[in-house]
Each structure stands twice: as structure tokens, then as C-alpha cells.
Structure 1
Amino acid sequence: MKNRLSSPVKIIALVATCSLVLGQFAPALSQALNRPPTLIGYADPFVGTENGGNIVPGAQIPFGFVHVSPDTVNPNTAGYNPYENILGFSQTHVSGTGGASKYGNFLATPLMGKLRVNNLGSPKSEEAASPGYYTVRLTRSNV
């Protein structure tokens, strides 16, 4: 018995079917490509942390009560100096006010190994921040 459909007809049918199936995704792809870029990628939490800008880079939300951020040795008035070792992290920073640290911050110092009370400051590496996110590696105890 002979095959009813010839080979070129099968190829045309296959191409047409694939075109119809893949055509369903074209509107979604078109919308994704035409979407305007978000401006959040341009935000840099480190702007204002040096030269007396009195800004802290830690994660915070607008008008939030808790502003978790690093505290450094020889800080500026906000409690953070990007060129100094990190002592630990406190919860109640005030960013951009220009006033001295208040509120009696409770410092949390992440440590591993022997406690050195005389010198808690740790060099840092891999410090990065984006809106709502802050990370750093404390190299003294590799935390």
C-alpha cells in the first residue's frame, strides 16, 4: 500500500504546525523585549558613605525604624566609613542627618575563634549592596 501523503506535503505540514505553535509565544516575547528598563538598577547604596555624606549602606526601607548597617572603626557621624575595618552591625542608624550617633546602638559582632576584646575591627572583602540588600565578608574570622 502506497503512502497517501508525499514527503514534501509532510514537510510543509510540519513547518506550518511548528510556525503555529511557536507563533503563540511571539506576543509575550515582544512585550518582554519592549519593556522599559527599571530604574532600580541605577541605585547605589554606597553613594554618600564617604567624605562626610553620613549615609549607611545597609538594607533599609523608606521610613522604616530598623536600619541594619555596619559600624566601623573611626566612623563618620552615621557610624560607617567605607575605608575602615568593621566592628559589627547595629540596628538603629540614621542616614544623612549629619548628627552624631545617638540611640545607644547595640552592636552585634560576628566572630569565630578566640575573642579579642581589644581589637574587634575586621578587614572586609566582597562588600556589595543594592536596594534592600547588603553583604560583606569579614576576613579576620572569615564570616
Structure 2
Amino acid sequence: MAAEALVAKHPCLKEAGSETGWNGWKNSIKFKMGNYRNKMRGRAGCQEVTVNAGKRSRSNPENEPSRSNIKRPKRAEVNFLPNFPQGKDLSSLEQLRQTIVEEVKKTEKNLPLIRKMMETTFPLSRQNIVMSCPPVSELMDLWPALKIESEVICISSHLK
């Protein structure tokens, strides 16, 4: 669409011999964006961009190839890996997860508090699922609040 709009706005850029007049521009934009994403993967530290990145080369032969262990999305599922909330890191979210485990063990559960903590620790749970692919039983032990029906509905709304 960008290439088409470019040629429509500036007809002098139309390519002679091309069916549409903008196929070459489309290719150039596609490669330019691919190179830009590759550069941003290293700079930004955005986990969602790096989740499927692997760069094996002559200088780094131990790295995974770029296409190994890629989790392909199915239907509406997205390989979603959000960044941690601002001001939070792995250790603080892990402490919050431990608090959730203790809160779920109580007979009088504070459901609004559990929901708030689960929303805060959502990036940690997604990182755990995407990176290490634990069995469901292990995942349920780590996140016992997922056994609460209201939390399952809340988490599924994050993935839509």
C-alpha cells in the first residue's frame, strides 16, 4: 500500500515495464523494513521482537539458527511476549508471583487483589510459557490462580 501510494503521489517514480508500476518499490520497502526490524531487535531489547530471533554465523556457531524452535501462531493465537511493566524487573515480578501463590492458598481469597497481581505479572507468565514451554501441570503449580475461573477469563482476554 505504501509503494502504491508513493507512485500515486509522485507519478514520475512509476517503473517502466512493471505491471503495476510499483512492484520494485514494494520490494525495496519490504527489504528496508526487514533490515530495520533486524537492527531494532538488537538495539531496543524488545522481547517480543527477539523471541524468534536466532543468529547462527561463522563467528557464533553455537547460536540457534534463525528458524529453529519458532512457535507458530495457530488461528487467533499470537506469539505474544509483552515487556515487563515500567519499574518492574524479573525479581520483583517473581516476588509478586510468590505473593499470588500465598494468597491463593488462603481460605478467604482476595479476588480483586489476585486479579490485579495476575495482570501485573502477565508478562512474566508469558515469558515463562514462550521461552521454556513448561508442561501444564508445572505451569499450574507456578500460577495457581489460573485454577480460578475468573482469572482464566481475564487472561484469555489479554490474548485476543
Establish whether TM, by shorter chain, passes 0.5.
no
Structure showing greater relative contact order (alpha-carbon pairs closer than 8 Å, 6 or more residues apart)? 1
Query: With structure 1 as the length reference, what TM-score do the two structures score?
Result: 0.27
From the two aligned structures, give the one with the greater strand fraction.
1
From the two aligned structures, give the one with the greater helix fraction.
2
Query: With structure 2 as the length reference, what TM-score do the two structures score?
Result: 0.25
| Structure with greater Cα Rg | 1
